[in-house]
């Protein structure tokens, strides 16, 4: 499977169609009983409005939902992917079969509210570390079945994707180290078992473990739940040898101070797991 960074526009559209197909199957089942109350020959105009300021994300998913229900529907976007909108701003206008637009409504809004929430939260963290060298990075703490959509939204908000899954990169944690027989042994084992990995990262909890990892040739190190003085010392000891990532309990009150220690990356599970949906609504005008 390709990494998200290698996805083309057509790959994104295919991903959106697959996500939407599952969502519509879950929602519509054998048929939309309520939309059937509307004359099947009737057309309508509709518009999606943002009820609050946000970074817009999910354009391909909205289009996939609408076009799956009415392939002849027309959508006119007023806010592009990754662009900020204001409260009460019209995001997109559409025309098509009234039944189809009604059936697509909730699926389209569900994707946009979730993906825009991830993009907006990510952008807030990215803005908080402007002027430092730290990148804001996501994690695997995602909604089951929607990882690529959420990680796509992180990118739309200006963040950086960590590994997509267990298959594309190596993150060695405490239990891996214990099971493999120590830091030198586990790092040696990586070269034998996972030469295709995009990167190899090892987690440490103390400065002594950092020293051991660096001495064993580590090129990326996750500094787990370290306080500010310890992070500063870790950056000093590292002296640019490995990419350093800070993780654990990051919030908007702490992220800039963490970034100012000189770490290269700050990973934040809350970008994708603690998401408050952005409020959107769809309004119809039959004609």
Tell me which residue of 56, 117, 120 sits closest to 90, measured CA to CA. Answer: 56
Q: Which of 63, 70, 105, 203 is catalytic?
A: 203
47 is catalytic: no
The Cβ of residue 38 has, within 10 Å, a number of other Cβ atoms equal to 18
The answer, yes or no, to whether residue 191 has pLDDT greater than 90, is: no
Instruction: Work out the pLDDT band at 287, boundaries 50, 70, 90.
Output: low
Q: Which of 141, 147, 256, 273 is catalytic?
A: 141
Q: Which of 17, 140, 173, 273 is catalytic?
A: 173
285 is catalytic: no
With the C-alpha atoms ordered 12, 13, 16, 21, is the resulting torsion angle positive or negative? negative
106 is catalytic: yes
Q: Which of 95, 224, 233, 279 is catalytic?
A: 224
For 44-73, how does the pLDDT look when each residue is reduced to its tens digit (9 = 90+)? Answer: 999 999 999 999 999 999 999 999 999 999
- Average pLDDT score over residue span 199-203: 94
Q: What percent of the chain has pLDDT over 70?
A: 99
Work out the mean pLDDT of the chain and round it to a whole number: 95
Instruction: Provide the pLDDT for residue 258.
Output: 98
For residue 151, what are the CA distances in angstroms to 93, 195, 254? 26, 24, 23
For 114-168, how does the pLDDT look when each residue is reduced to its tens digit (9 = 90+)? Answer: 999 999 999 999 999 999 999 999 999 999 999 999 999 999 999 999 999 999 9
Quick one: DSSP state of residue 277? P
151 is catalytic: no
Q: Which of 17, 45, 47, 106 is catalytic?
A: 106
Domains parsed from the chain with CATH numbers:
4-119+275-286 (3.90.1170.20), 127-273 (3.20.20.70)
141 is catalytic: yes
The answer, yes or no, to whether residue 4 has pLDDT greater than 70, is: yes
How far is 171 from 98, CA to CA, in rounded Å? 49
């Amino acid at each position: 499977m390709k990494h998200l960074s290698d996805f083309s526009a057509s790959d994104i559209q295919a991903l959106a169609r697959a996500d939407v197909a599952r969502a519509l199957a879950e929602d519509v089942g054998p048929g939309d009983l309520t939309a059937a109350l509307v004359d099947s020959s009737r057309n309508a105009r509709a518009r999606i409005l943002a009820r609050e300021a946000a970074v817009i994300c999910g354009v391909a998913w909205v289009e996939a939902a609408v076009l799956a229900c009415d392939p002849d529907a027309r959508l006119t976007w007023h806010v592009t992917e990754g662009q900020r909108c204001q409260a009460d701003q019209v995001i997109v206008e559409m025309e098509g079969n009234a039944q189809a637009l009604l059936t697509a409504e909730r699926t389209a809004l569900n994707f946009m509210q979730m993906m825009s929430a991830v993009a907006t939260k990510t952008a807030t963290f990215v803005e908080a570390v402007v002027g430092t060298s730290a990148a804001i990075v996501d994690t695997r703490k995602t909604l089951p079945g929607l990882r690529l959509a959420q990680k796509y939204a992180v990118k739309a908000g200006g963040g950086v994707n960590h590994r997509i899954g267990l298959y594309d990169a190596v993150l060695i944690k405490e239990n891996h180290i214990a099971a493999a027989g120590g830091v030198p042994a586990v790092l040696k084992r990586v070269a034998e078992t996972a030469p295709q990995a995009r990167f190899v990262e090892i987690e440490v909890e103390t400065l002594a473990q950092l020293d051991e990892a660096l001495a064993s040739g580590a090129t990326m190190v996750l500094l787990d739940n370290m306080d500010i003085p310890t992070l500063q010392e870790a950056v000093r000891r590292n002296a640019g040898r490995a990419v350093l990532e800070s993780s654990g309990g990051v919030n908007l009150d702490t992220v800039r101070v963490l970034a100012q220690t000189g770490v290269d990356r700050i990973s934040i599970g809350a970008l994708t797991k603690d998401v408050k949906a952005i409020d959107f609504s769809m309004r119809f005008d039959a004609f």
